[in-house]
């Protein structure tokens, strides 16, 4: 078994790389990205026209004249579009050094050495010397004459008069392999800092709906199977299929109208994961529990309704199929009690299909909550990803992708473990 799971863990690596590379490439090549949006905002805000200073020219992404070239270079550098797409992906992974703390400068055609102030160190001004070697490359030296292991420099372009436009910068390995998902374009904060509180909310709601679905669906499916063809079976099937045909977010809207202060009953709040912070902090522990449950009822119903229907019907059909098998007839023929036959012999084989899909369902309930969180005004993980996609906030979008892919991959391993637990015939090699 250890060998099998080691292979599964190793298989996660190319799967993760392939998924992230595909989505990363699509995001980077898709029109209307953050760079284009920023340029459009500058243009619409009146910050257009010829560029004074810097390069003295004005260019756009399509060659049009509306933005100074120096400003465009800074925008590309800020969003990371100054590098080829393969370098951007490797930088995002953390296997290619990221350039930070850029300082622009010029090297005159007659000069082979430039002194550049790069900041402060130990309370003193930090200066370095930048020299041009025989290959016309720039090398950075500290004031003690040693080659700098912190700063590096490169030439952007050479002007007609021989003057070189250059930039000095630091390099660091910073990507998802180091736990750094980047900085949000919208919130101007690290992605992990933005995602953590939102993820906890979605995880709480998702796992609550997940466990409630299993706790209700398995007994309900068993009862439907044991009472197959009865009025209870027919009536519950009608209700289940009606619920299954309604999307979770649409059902959420209906529930808000019916029970959230709409045109009918004002029983539950209109939205939010809990009461406002100024009210929440004044509540006792028991009152906080009641308040949390009060806010959870409608979202959890909308969250788990589709999975609820699927699990119930799957449990019923699986149990019916096993009850018709020869080994069940043999058990009854030997005089075993019905409860023993159903709960010991038939049940273990009946839950095998449910166990095999537990990882998939777990990924869906945690990460598949875009519209439900929007309907109920819950500041969760799914809503954050939805808004990031609309705003072209690539770091958050890719951070969401990383979490979803990992959940799905780990969910597959959980499914395998659950399947091996309920089915003794399964042997992993």
- Structure confidence at residue 194 (pLDDT): 92
**Predicted pLDDT at 262:** 60
The pLDDT confidence band at residue 201, using thresholds 50, 70 and 90, is confident
45-59, 95-109, 366-380: which range is least confident on average?
45-59
pLDDT tens by residue, 348-386: 788 888 877 777 766 666 665 777 888 888 888 888 888
Place of tokens 């439907």: 224
Phi-psi region of 169 (alpha: psi -120 to 50; beta: other; left: phi over 0): beta
Q: Indicate if the pLDDT at residue 57 is higher than 60.
A: no
Q: What is the dihedral of CA 20, 23, 28, 31, to 10 degrees?
A: -170
Per-residue confidence band for 56, with pLDDT thresholds at 50, 70 and 90: very low
pLDDT tens across 234-247, in order?
Answer: 998 898 888 778 88
> What mean pLDDT is predicted for residues 94-114?
82
Q: At what angle do helices 2-29 and 85-93 cross, to 10 degrees?
A: 140
**Residue 142: its H or E element:** strand 138-142
Structure tokens at 417: 């473990």
Domains present along the chain, CATH in parentheses:
98-172 (no CATH), 191-422 (1.10.3720.10)
- Average pLDDT (394-413) is 86
pTM of this structure: 0.77
pLDDT by residue (tens digit) across 244-303? 788 888 888 888 888 876 667 888 888 788 888 888 888 888 888 998 888 888 888 888
């Amino acid at each position: 078994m250890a060998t099998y799971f080691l292979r599964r863990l190793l298989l996660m690596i190319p799967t993760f790389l392939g998924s992230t590379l595909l989505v990363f490439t699509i995001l980077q090549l898709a029109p209307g990205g953050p760079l284009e949006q920023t340029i459009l905002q500058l243009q619409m805000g009146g910050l257009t026209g010829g560029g004074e200073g810097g390069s003295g020219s004005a260019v756009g992404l399509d060659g049009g004249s509306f933005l100074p070239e120096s400003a465009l270079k800074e925008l590309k550098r800020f969003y990371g579009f100054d590098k080829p797409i393969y370098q951007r992906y490797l930088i995002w992974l953390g296997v290619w050094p990221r350039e930070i703390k850029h300082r622009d400068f010029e090297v005159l055609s007659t000069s082979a050495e430039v002194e550049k102030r790069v900041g402060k160190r130990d309370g003193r001004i930090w200066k370095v010397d930048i020299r041009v070697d025989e290959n016309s490359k720039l090398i950075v030296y500290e004031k003690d004459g040693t080659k700098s292991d912190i700063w590096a420099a490169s030439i952007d372009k050479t002007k007609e008069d021989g003057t070189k436009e250059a930039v000095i910068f630091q390099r660091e390995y910073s990507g998802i392999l180091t736990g750094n998902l980047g900085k949000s374009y919208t919130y101007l904060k690290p992605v992990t800092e933005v995602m953590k509180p939102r993820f906890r909310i979605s995880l709480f709601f998702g796992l609550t709906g997940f466990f409630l679905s299993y706790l209700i669906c398995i007994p309900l499916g068993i009862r439907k199977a044991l009472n197959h063809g009865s009025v209870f079976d027919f009536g519950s099937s009608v209700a289940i299929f009606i619920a299954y045909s309604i999307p979770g977010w649409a059902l959420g809207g209906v529930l808000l109208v019916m029970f959230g202060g709409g045109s009918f009953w004002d029983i539950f709040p209109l939205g939010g994961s809990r009461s406002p912070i100024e009210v929440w902090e004044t509540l006792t522990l028991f009152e906080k529990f009641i308040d949390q449950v009060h806010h959870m009822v409608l979202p959890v119903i909308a969250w788990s309704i589709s999975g609820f229907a699927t699990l119930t019907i799957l449990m019923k059909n699986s149990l019916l199929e096993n009850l018709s098998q020869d080994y069940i007839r043999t058990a009854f023929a030997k005089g075993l009690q019905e409860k023993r036959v159903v709960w010991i012999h038939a049940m273990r084989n009946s839950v095998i299909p449910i166990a095999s899909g537990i990882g998939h369902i777990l990924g869906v309930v945690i990460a598949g909550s875009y519209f439900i969180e929007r309907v109920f005004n819950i500041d969760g993980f799914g809503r954050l990803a939805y808004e990031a996609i609309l705003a072209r906030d690539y770091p958050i979008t890719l951070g969401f992708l990383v979490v979803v892919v990992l959940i799905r991959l780990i969910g597959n391993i959980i499914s395998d473990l659950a399947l091996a637990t309920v089915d003794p015939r399964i042997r992993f090699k």
